Structure 1
Amino acid sequence: MHRTVTTTLSKLSNTLNTNGVIPFFYHQDIDRVLEVMKILKRCECNVFEFTHQRDARGLRMFTWLAEKAKELDIIIGAGTVLDASQANRFIQAGAHFIASPFLHADVARVCHENNVVWIPGCSTFHDVAEAKALQASLVTILPGNILGPAFLKQVVNVHPEISFIPSGGVTLVKNNLQGWFDAGALCVRLGESLFTREDVAVKDWVKVEGNVYRALQGIKQIKTSILRTNSITISE
């Protein structure tokens, strides 16, 4: 196993805030995953979540990809991590952050012990309070298509010290993205809407890169507009 390479919470948070997105992707062809990472880097997106498929091959792939992430200077994390043993294996393989679809105290403990950022999934106010008790500073809100921006806005008001990342039901439609960022999202989590199955299947990397670039620019414009509006409001 490789030595753990830690990334501070502030560095990850700043990167997510700048990018406005956590891109996540998995494919059984490791070369396609690497190509996606290269596209992200060319589009100045410096973070990537590898959503492994809970098998030994996924861990081997991640170990190799973590080395490539060093070369590309990309923060790489492991997603869909379900228990402490999985978390530990991915941390030792080089994960900068661990994302889980739900709360798990043992996963939190392993991440804290290794100084690796833990991003749990939460679906209720109780979940968020529990995540806070387990020292989570970044929290995924899911499923976004059911909870919606109104839930996010409420939970941000109650827990302004936590940064929230909606996942599921997040699309590249401007009104959808606008709603999430207006509600207080740090960034959004996007997968197939960035890397469509059809484009990846035929390796149309030019189309994929164009899609990623437009998405990042659109998110940047939304966040800039919100910052400008907030600045005007404060000055008044």
Structure 2
Amino acid sequence: MSAKTEKLLSLLNGQPVVPVLKIANVADAVPLARALARGGLPAIEITLRTADALEAIRRVAGEVEGAIVGAGTILDARQFDEAAAAGSKFIVSPGITNELLAAAKDSPVPLLPGAITPGEIMAAREAGLRFLKFFPAEQSGGIASLKAFASPLADVKFCPTGGITGKNAADYLSLPNVICVGGSWVAPDDMVKAGRWDEIEALARAASQLGR
């Protein structure tokens, strides 16, 4: 196992759910991250799907003690470098490309790339990656696919994301090759917009106990 895979596992192992966040208002980033951390989910993924995403990452990295902020929806080397410079502790991409692998090779920030086919998983494995995002999980065979990978690709672990909810997360977490799951249900848009941080903290606390 590569040092970067070990680093990524050290960041995310032990936290069953990684909140996947789309920050529409940058002012929400810090109180949201604090609420999630108080609830037991310090590692979060802020997706680069909004104009303020990089600023949100900067603020969380600089202002929320104990937070482990990662950047998601990274599609190319430029975004990888920008996210790392903003303070991301890990980088998440929906897929795997040679450009991203090259960017990750030259960076101390570990990459969690998406992979759903045996070929993609083997390509990541050849690059020294043993911990991958399985995305989009539900649309790509979900639990059945991950069970099928467990034997032939026994040394590869996954973080399924996409269609994961509070109702099916525990089923995914019961699989031997699943370390954690990614999901947005712990920070519903309406709660974030209304600043209902106590309710989000409660959702995070419940999610932090899944699979235990």
| Same fold (TM > 0.5) | yes
Q: Which residue of structure 2 lines up, in the alignment, with residue 111 of structure 1? A: 104
Larger radius of gyration: 1
Greater shift, 143-152 or 78-87, is seen at 143-152
The structure whose RCO (Cα within 8 Å, separation 6+) is larger is: 2
> Aligned in 2, Cα 1:58/1:45: closer, same or farther, shift over 3 Å?
closer
What is the CA distance between 1:187 and its match in structure 2?
0.4
Distance in structure 1 (CA, Å) of the matches to 2:6 and 2:35: 24
The letter of the residue matching 1:59 is L
Q: Which residue of structure 2 lines up, in the alignment, with residue 155 of structure 1? A: 149
For residues 46-85 of structure 1, what are the structure 2 equivalents within 5 Å? Answer: 46-53=42-49, 55=51, 57-69=52-64, 72-85=65-78
1:169-217 alpha-carbon deviations (Å, 9 max, x no partner): 21101xx2232122221100011x1111221222222211111111212
CA contact (8 A) 1:150 1:183 kept: no
1:36-59 alpha-carbon deviations (Å, 9 max, x no partner): 11012212322111112264x432
For residues 19-58 of structure 1, what are the structure 2 equivalents within 5 Å? Answer: 19-53=15-49, 55=51, 57-58=52-53
Match of 1:178 among 138, 156, 170: 170
What is the TM-score of this pair, normalised by structure 2? 0.89
RMSD: 1.9
The letter of the residue matching 2:57 is F
Greater share of helix: 1
Distance in structure 2 (CA, Å) of the matches to 1:216 and 1:44: 6
What is the CA distance between 1:136 and its match in structure 2?
1.8
> Aligned in 2, Cα 1:44/1:12: closer, same or farther, shift over 3 Å?
farther
What is the CA distance between 1:153 and its match in structure 2?
1.4
CA contact (8 A) 1:118 1:138 kept: no
1:53-85 alpha-carbon deviations (Å, 9 max, x no partner): 264x4323322332124xx12221110000011
Runs of 4+ in 1 over 6 A off after TM superposition: none
What is the CA distance between 1:15 and its match in structure 2?
4.0
Quote the sequence identity (%). 24
What is the TM-score of this pair, normalised by structure 1? 0.81
Question: SS of the residue aligned with 2:88?
Answer: coil
For residues 78-227 of structure 1, what are the structure 2 equivalents within 5 Å? Answer: 78-146=71-139, 147-173=141-167, 176-184=168-176, 185-191=178-184, 193-217=185-209, 219=210, 222=211, 224=212
Q: Which residue of structure 2 lines up, in the alignment, with residue 4 of structure 1? A: none
CA contact (8 A) 1:32 1:200 kept: yes
Distance in structure 2 (CA, Å) of the matches to 1:89 and 1:33: 18
Distance in structure 2 (CA, Å) of the matches to 1:63 and 1:25: 14
CA contact (8 A) 2:35 2:198 kept: no
Question: SS of the residue aligned with 1:28?
Answer: coil
Distance in structure 2 (CA, Å) of the matches to 1:195 and 1:157: 34
Q: Which runs of 5+ in 2 are unaligned?
A: none
Q: Which residue of structure 1 lines up, in the alignment, with residue 8 of structure 2? A: 12
